Amino acid sequence: MNTSKTLSNGILRALLTIVVSGLILFFFYQIQSVLIYLVVSFILTLIGNPILDFFKKRLKFNHIFATIVTLLIFMLIIFGFIMMFIPLILSQGQNLSLLNTSAIENNIVQLINQISVFLESHHIDSSQILKEANITSKINFNIIPNFLNAILDTISSFGIGLGAVLFITFFFLKDQLKFILGAKKLIPDSHEDQILNSLEKINHLLSRYFIGLLLQLFIVFLLYLIVLVIFGVPNALVIAFLCAVLNIIPYIGPLIASILAAILTMMSNLGSDFQSEILPTTIYVLIGFWIVQIIDNNLSQPIIFSKSVSSHPLEIFLVILIAGFLFGILGMIVAVPLYTIIKVMGKEFFPENKIIVLLTKDI
């Protein structure tokens, strides 16, 4: 009797846990926009902390004034970015037909026809290969316009939520100490020092990481732009922008960026002769992009992914690789910040563990 009662109680508890978990997940799904605002505000806070400290320590601003000035800098950067880049990207995207799926399909078909003529002029029968491959039916022509439109929609949607994000960021920056004091009341006394030390280290390391990541993307964007301008590729700004955004995805992003750059370079020069202009220009652009990626892989990424989070480059590579296999592209993007958080927490709570000691010796 007791056994059946215990079993039924266990089943009820399990069902209740499943229902409550489902309701919580549904609630988070319903407020996903708010969660995005909180995440963006948290990242802006991490980026803004060094700026806030500079104004307070070096320029002797009081806390409120330093917070307001930091927020004004964010607003000026965002406004400048929108005024400078978005109209150019939009106009160049229209010139390149990136906002129109049918136009992209026509351009791709035209490009394939030009490639066929080029191959046939070199005694390579491409018509049968292309017919059997049926490339045009397998390509999802919505990828490029959806990607560009998603970026533009995100920026325009962010414009709607900009007030909320800046409002939240202001209080994150202004009331950090209050949040920490409030957290102290919720933290068990036995673990208070460990958790607070972890939060301080995580804040410091992730601040460096996100600032470094933004700097890396800007450097890559400028280098891509220089390569495209040198070889006279039309619509250089939008191509460099799209390829730089792809660099957010570690290791795989640059490879995708090279392929995208090659396709968009050929599409930009569709009116020219394939053999004498389109093909050489595309090859030069690819070589230029590979040089940029060599510079990025050997200079920018080691500084950002290694020094900013105090981890060995091989360690970071393996973490990103494992996260990619387990969780796909999203896992690769968030791998470094999450791994940094786990390392810091591990050092505080398990300082005697030999593996933790080995992995966190530089933190």
Tens of pLDDT, residues 304-323: 777 777 777 778 888 888 88
- Determine the pLDDT at residue 342: 85
HEC assignment per residue over 120-139: HHCCCCHHHHHHHHCHHHHC
Residues spanned by the domain of 22: 1-30
- Determine the pLDDT at residue 152: 59
Asked if the structure places residue 131 within a domain, the reply is: no
Asked if the structure places residue 355 within a domain, the reply is: yes
Residue 94 has pLDDT above 80, yes or no: no
Q: What is the mean pLDDT of residues 21-39?
A: 83
Residue 136 has pLDDT above 60, yes or no: no
Asked if the structure places residue 121 within a domain, the reply is: no
Asked if the structure places residue 128 within a domain, the reply is: no
- The total number of structural domains in the chain stands at 2
Q: Where is average pLDDT lowest: 50-64, 99-113, 209-223, 262-276?
A: 99-113
pLDDT band at residue 223 under the 50/70/90 scheme: very high
- Determine the pLDDT at residue 99: 47
pLDDT band at residue 225 under the 50/70/90 scheme: very high
Q: Measured between alpha carbons, how far is 145 from 294 in angstroms, rounded to an integer?
A: 29
Asked if the structure places residue 271 within a domain, the reply is: yes
Q: What is the pLDDT of residues 232-283, one digit of tens each?
A: 887 788 788 888 888 888 778 888 888 888 888 887 766 667 677 778 888 8
Q: What is the mean pLDDT of residues 332-341?
A: 82
Asked if the structure places residue 164 within a domain, the reply is: no
Asked if the structure places residue 226 within a domain, the reply is: yes
Helices (H), the chain: 2-30, 32-57, 63-84, 86-95, 101-121, 126-133, 135-138, 143-174, 176-186, 192-230, 236-246, 252-268, 279-295, 301, 313-349, 354-359
- Determine the pLDDT at residue 95: 55
Q: Higher-confidence residue: 124 or 315? A: 315
The rounded mean pLDDT for the chain is 76
* pTM summary value: 0.68
Q: What is the pLDDT of residues 165-199, one digit of tens each?
A: 888 889 888 888 777 777 667 767 666 677 777 77
Residue 78 has pLDDT above 90, yes or no: no
Asked if the structure places residue 89 within a domain, the reply is: no
